[in-house]
């Protein structure tokens, strides 16, 4: 079941960027759809045990995605993404932000620029995500938000899972 898929995660502490490259066992169009259609994004974007809930999405240049990551206990963490440039099915660029349920952006929390590029690798697709923060402090603040959002609550379980999965290779 599990294949040896490319996964690179690089942090450039000088340029304040994270580069995340991942291969998927599907064609580029299908992977593009998963990134750009709300009914599909809702099924994977928030890491377990959180779930994703889209309030509104308008995937076009100048459009936005307003969504929440929801904890099992019902706590909601709202996010807002502005879409800047879109070239299907090659790439899109966006700016992310923390917001509230009304879609008002929290200016005191960091925003980051995203460049998401889709390429072919044989029959598979590779997605490269470059996230640029204004500073390392911004990156840390984002990580801390991640902590508070309980994203890491199941890390031990995930570790076990990963050991199991890599043991299969």
- Binding another protein (rule: CB under 8 A), the pick from 61, 137, 148, 160 is 137
Is residue 151 close enough to count as binding another protein by CB under 8 A?
yes
Q: Which residues in the 4-33 window bind another protein by CB under 8 A?
A: 5, 7, 9, 11, 13-14, 18, 20, 22, 24-26, 30-31, 33
Interior CA angle at 60 toward 59 and 65, to 5°?
35
Strands (E), the chain: 7-12, 17-24, 51-57, 64-70, 76-87, 91-99, 112-121, 124-133
What are the angstrom distances between the C-alpha of 155 and each of 47, 48, 123, 158, 161?
10, 9, 31, 5, 10
Is residue 60 close enough to count as binding another protein by CB under 8 A?
no
Q: Determine the interface stretch with another protein among 53-61, 70-78, 82-90, 146-154 (rule: CB under 8 A).
A: 146-154
Smallest distance from another protein to CB 95, Å: 19
Q: Given the structure tokens 């994977």, which residue do they identify?
A: 44
Tell me the two tokens of residue 114: 């995203």
Residues that bind another protein (CB under 8 A): 5, 7, 9, 11, 13-14, 18, 20, 22, 24-26, 30-31, 33-34, 40, 43-48, 135-137, 139-140, 143, 146-147, 151-152, 154-155, 158, 161-162
């Amino acid at each position: 079941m599990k294949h040896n898929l490319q996964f690179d995660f690089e942090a450039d502490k000088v340029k304040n960027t994270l580069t995340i490259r991942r291969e998927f066992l599907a064609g580029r169009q299908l992977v593009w759809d998963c990134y750009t259609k709300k009914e599909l994004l809702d099924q994977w974007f928030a890491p377990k045990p959180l779930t994703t809930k889209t309030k509104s999405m308008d995937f076009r240049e100048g459009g936005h995605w307003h969504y929440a990551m929801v904890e099992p206990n019902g706590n909601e963490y709202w996010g807002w993404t502005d879409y800047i440039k879109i070239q299907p099915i090659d790439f899109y660029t966006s700016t992310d932000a923390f917001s509230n349920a009304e879609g008002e952006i929290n200016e005191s929390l960091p925003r980051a620029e995203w460049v998401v590029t889709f390429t072919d690798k044989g029959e598979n697709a590779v997605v490269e995500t470059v996230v640029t923060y204004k500073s390392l402090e911004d990156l840390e603040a984002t990580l801390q938000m991640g902590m508070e959002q309980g994203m890491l609550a199941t890390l031990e379980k995930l570790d076990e899972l990963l050991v199991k999965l890599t043991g299969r290779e």
